[in-house]
Amino acid sequence: MISSSPTQARWAVAATFLLHGILVGAWVPHIPLAKERLEVGPGVFGLALLAFAGGAVCAMPAAGVMINRFGSAVLTTITGLLFCITFLGPILAPSLVTFVMAGFVMGMAIGSMDVSMNAHGIAVEKELKRPTMSMLHAGFSVGGAIGAFLGGALLEAFGEARQAIIILLLCTAIQVVAARFYLPAAADKGLSGSHFAWPTRATIGLGLLCFLALMIEGSILDWAAIMMRQKFEIDAGLAALGFGFYQGGMAAARLTGDWIRLRIGAVRMVVWSALLAAGGTALALTAPTPYLAIAAFVFAGLGLGNITPVLFAGGGRLEPDAPGRGIAAVTTLGYTGFLMGPPLIGFAAQLTDINTALFLTVIAALIIAVFARSVRAADTY
């Protein structure tokens, strides 16, 4: 790590969000292939997907502790490299048991990296003295789109294992370079004598909205490609485009999110964003052609894009002396939704079908719109 300005650190953290998104997006085309390889039904596969979010939820409170002790810069570097390495596990897993084990370990890397890079984003935002969280999350969305498109193309060209190795090497290189420009560890190291990261009363409202937001994201991540593949009988690469365009819409929203939040406030932005997410998702699920469904996912992404950054920013604001702990509290509840969403969709799909089950995400978006006033803390500077 070298001495860097807040502006350099801002771009370094944005690059970290980018590589996080690339890894997640590149995993998407593997999901329907993993289900087919394991030869299990949607209910069982939904339970297997619990391992990813379960690992994330288990790691998040510990990440809050480690940030307070060592600083978010150190933890972001370590967890970023771990995510790159563990990306291979579920792709190479030959059985359901090894898939679950590898998914849990990968989930731990994802969750702890999520907390640490968001905490470092809050530290950068404090140094800059202006909003930047939406822009950072735009990096994730751009990465998710790149990962889905590039991952699908590499998968078709080289197969599963080689695609995974190429993505791993690319993201490792990004992480090594980005880490050199983070803020010093002292930026948020040891700010509070209280370490543990369970939600407090002040974070419960934000955490419950984050629960719904990440339930939607997790469900679209895990089931959209499967829905597209089954409904329209298309190949895995094309099926992954729904998620890719979804992330593209999220990226476009987040690139303007900081500007919008300054002008209309967090509450109004979340209300309109949630309504657009609900409408776009409903259109995607009722579309008669795969191309119309892919286009509709863009609008769903435009709606959902700015909700999570506002919630994370609010979590950091609620505990200014320990932003890592505050973010960890909100994200722990959020990833509980991420954990419960995919299996809930799987169980509902067992009773109906995947397309119908995904309408639960539309309902979740409407609930966020109704209770959007809980995000007021995000506008506190």
Cβ atoms within 10 Å, residue 105: 18
Angstrom CA distances, 318 to 176, 201, 339, 343, 375, stand at: 31, 11, 24, 31, 11
pLDDT value of residue 167: 95
Over range 355-361, report the average pLDDT: 90
Backbone angles phi, psi at 245, to 5 degrees: -70, -30
Q: Does the structure show a pLDDT above 60 at 40? A: yes
Residue 293 has pLDDT above 70, yes or no: yes
pLDDT tens for residues 70-92?
888 999 999 999 999 999 999 98
pLDDT at 192 over 60: no
Q: Residue for token digits 């502790």?
A: 65
Residue 250 scores a pLDDT above 90:
no
pLDDT (average), residues 204-225 = 85
pLDDT at 109: 95
Name 371's Cβ contacts closer than 8 Å, sequence gap at least 6. 205, 208, 209
Residue 373 per-residue DSSP state: G
pLDDT attached to residue 331: 75
Read off the amino acid at residue 340.
M
With contact defined as beta carbons under 8 Å apart, do 333 and 311 qualify?
no
With contact defined as beta carbons under 8 Å apart, do 260 and 273 qualify? no
Residue 171 has pLDDT above 90, yes or no: yes
* Per-residue pLDDT, 191: 56
* Token pair recorded at residue 289: 């052609």
Domain 6-183+200-379's class?
mainly alpha
Whether 135 has a pLDDT exceeding 80, the answer reads: yes
From residue 253, alpha-carbon distances to 217, 241, 279, 304, 326 in Å are 15, 18, 15, 8, 25
Compute the distance between CA of residue 220 and CA of residue 358 in angstroms, rounded to an integer.
8
Q: Averaged over 282-289, what is the pLDDT?
A: 92
**Distance separating alpha carbons of residues 372 and 267, to the nearest angstrom:** 6
For residue 263, count CB atoms less than 10 angstroms from its CB and return exposed for 0-12, middle for 13-18, buried for 19 or more: exposed
pLDDT value at 3 more than 70: no
Per-residue pLDDT at 378: 65
pLDDT at position 152: 84
Predicted pLDDT of residue 245: 86
- The pLDDT score that the predictor gives to residue 367 is 94
pLDDT at 194 over 60: no
Predicted pLDDT at 230: 82
| Mean model confidence pLDDT for the chain | 85
Check residue 275 and give its pLDDT.
95
Of the two residues 179 and 315, the one the predictor is more confident about is 179
pLDDT at 12: 95
Q: How confident is the model at residue 130 (pLDDT cuts 50, 70, 90)?
A: confident
For 336-363, b where at least 16 C-beta lie within 10 A, e where not — what string? bbbbbbbbbbbebbeeeebbebbbebbe
What residue spans of the chain are helical by DSSP H? 6-27, 30-38, 42-70, 72-86, 88-92, 96-128, 133-158, 160-179, 201-232, 236-239, 241-264, 266-286, 290-304, 307-318, 323-351, 354-357, 359-370
What pTM was computed for the model? 0.77
| Of the candidates 378, 109, 353, 67, the residue with the CA atom closest to the CA atom of residue 227 | 353
Instruction: Provide the token pair at 305.
Output: 């894009």
User: What pLDDT shows up at residue 319?
Assistant: 63
Q: Are 76 and 68 in contact (CB under 8 A)?
A: no
Residue ranges of the domains in the chain?
Answer: 6-183+200-379
Looking at residue 247, its pLDDT comes to: 77
Answer for the pair 281, 249: CB distance below 8 angstroms, yes or no.
no
Q: Supply the pLDDT for residue 190.
A: 62
CA–CA separation, 163 vs 117, rounded Å?
25
Mean pLDDT for the stretch of residues 257-270: 87
Q: How confident is the model at residue 262 (pLDDT cuts 50, 70, 90)?
A: confident
